Structure 1
Amino acid sequence: MKLHFLVFAMTILSGLLPGWLSPGTAQAQEARRNVSQCQAIAQSIPKATFASFSGAVPIAADNETVTLTYIGHSTFLIETPGGVSIATDYSGWYPTPQPPMVATMNRAHSSHYTLTPDPAIEQVLHGWSDVPGEKAKIDLMVGDTYIRNVTTDIRGGYGAPQPDGNSIFIFEVAGLCIGHLGHLHYELTDAQYTAIGRLDVVMVPVDGGLTMGADSMSRVIKRLRSSLILPMHQQRPLANFLSMFGPDFDVVYAPSNSIDISIRTLPKKPQIYVAKGMQ
């Protein structure tokens, strides 16, 4: 009898407790509900390689297609099945057809951010922290898309490292893990690879050295082992970047600047997909 009463009391308390929580505690619980589906391996495993799906397919509707459009430089427009639109490394220099719902930014150069974005943009996400000494922390649901970030250092004045000045933004939608490397200046650490997790699609800066040289950037891409690799930034160094990859990677020169992708249509072999604007 006492046991039944205890179970009953705990059930009642579990239903009432959320209403007794302070606003800060309730907000913390809400934040913890955002769980990455792209970190499929425990974060404690060192030197883990996150492979894209080639067999088992996560749950996603047949019509859940994400459209990726190369706008220019490091700006892609991501359009999700739920109607969310995201512009990466938004600076206003490369306008999208309509103002995006979300704009991500990185601060390495003025071509990757703006402090005066279009007021119609609902969410402006800085890849750097506006508080000195802190990291940017993005952990956000927008419609059908979970957006998070992993910070990396950049080169500051006279080449000295500037901690956490860049963010790799990761967009989890329709069963896909989509990553934008931003203005990546240094090869990633094991801890950063683990924090990123699996990337099915990755947007990679190619510029011959303004970010990293072709050899360093190719090592990052080979370690990520994404199914779809989308070069961005500059056309001129593209050939040198592509020369770093052997027969394990296919290269496709696209007839347009857009591609529709779903978890079911990912290439079985890693594919470097060169959008029209990057050719």
Structure 2
Amino acid sequence: MKPHCLVLAIACLAIFTVPNLAAAQEDRSPVSQCQAIAQNIPKATFASFSGVAPVVPAVSEGEDVKFTYLGHSTFEIETPGGIVIATDYNGWYRPAVTPDVVTMNKAHSTHYTLTPDPDIKHVLHGWSDIPGEKARINLVVGDAYIRNVTTDIRFSYGLGGSQLDGNSIFIFEIADLCIGHLGHLHYELTDAHYTEIGRLDVVMVPVDGGLTMGADSMSRVIKRLRSSLILPMHRRGPPVNSFISMFGNGFDVNYAPDNSLTVSMRTLPKKPLIYVMKDVQ
């Protein structure tokens, strides 16, 4: 081949390959460090990235993650890199600063708002507005990777039946910690759910005793998750002790004097700990 023909061929190859590479980079998805890989779970599908580098959160400058209970099922989560997340944000319970990210659940009006502060950069809905589709969250913000696992919920106001994928369990992967917020969980999780969730070091769990699930059902979920740190929330009606009574000597219990807790991979309790913040007691 003549030299000028070779140059032309290389140029043509570059024209057709560079856009494809750019498209592949745009389509790349974050990779979960907490998701379990189970070969024997039917219908469990894991992504393949075909050699394209995955999106990864920024490296945390520290290792401490701070949790502050604001009320109902809203926690403020502050990452080592200064990203502020508010869970089940309804506009009533707000962090002292405008959060970078808020997650919402459409199960009840106390779990979401359609008029959030416009200064919030990322408003993540746990439901899809398209019938028959699931909400799909895969987002990296600073040193946090946020994803979701959908579950069904009962219809409200005695209508009967279930809304498919109407609840999202939000999962936050921060500073090597796997953190889960169960949202308005109405049904016990399936094997496929546990596979999709993966490891949870910290879990925020509703303990209302029936608005979501009864204490016995919810305790079975928590025992299956095997989290190191359990943070009760969404307490209405029965005392939190109704939930705690479902656990034996394999779990420690701490009734905290305030509503904040700082934790890291190094400081996770060796024995599973149910940590009851002040306003949940």
> Is TM > 0.5 for Structure 1 vs Structure 2?
yes
Query: What residue ranges of structure 2 are gaps of 5+ in the alignment?
Result: 1-8, 43-58
AA aligned to 1:123 is H
Alignment of 1:165-244 (within 5 A): 165-234=166-235, 236-237=237-238, 238-244=240-246
What is the CA-CA distance between 1:43 and the residue it aligns to? 3.2
What is the CA-CA distance between 1:82 and the residue it aligns to? 0.8
Q: TM-score, normalised by structure 1?
A: 0.85
Counterpart in the other structure of 1:262: 264
Query: What residue ranges of structure 1 are gaps of 5+ in the alignment?
Result: 1-8, 48-59
Higher relative contact order (CA 8 A, sep 6+): 1
Counterpart in the other structure of 2:68: 69
Alignment of 1:1-279 (within 5 A): 19-21=18-20, 25-28=24-27, 30-31=28-29, 34-39=30-35, 41-46=36-41, 63-157=62-156, 158-234=159-235, 236-237=237-238, 238-279=240-281
Aligned to 1:19, the other structure's residue is in SS state helix
1:160-217 C-alpha deviation (Å, 9 max, x unpaired): 0110000000000101000000000000000000000000000000111000000000
Residues in 2 aligned to 1:177 and 1:17: alpha-carbon distance in whole angstroms: 40
AA aligned to 1:278 is V
| Shift in CA distance, 129/22, structure 1 to aligned 2, threshold 3 Å | farther
What is the CA-CA distance between 1:46 and the residue it aligns to? 3.7
Alignment check: 8 A CA contact 1:18 1:26 kept: no
Report sequence identity in percent: 67
Q: TM-score, normalised by structure 2?
A: 0.85
Residues in 1 aligned to 2:17 and 2:208: alpha-carbon distance in whole angstroms: 51
| Structure exhibiting the larger radius of gyration computed from Cα positions | 2
Alignment check: 8 A CA contact 1:235 1:278 kept: no
What is the CA-CA distance between 1:120 and the residue it aligns to? 1.1
Alignment check: 8 A CA contact 2:61 2:80 kept: no
Aligned to 2:270, the other structure's residue is in SS state coil
Q: Which runs of 4+ in 1 moved over 3 A?
A: 15-18, 22-26, 60-63
Count of residue correspondences: 252
Counterpart in the other structure of 1:55: none
Alignment check: 8 A CA contact 2:209 2:236 kept: no
Residues in 2 aligned to 1:45 and 1:194: alpha-carbon distance in whole angstroms: 10
Alignment check: 8 A CA contact 1:88 1:105 kept: yes
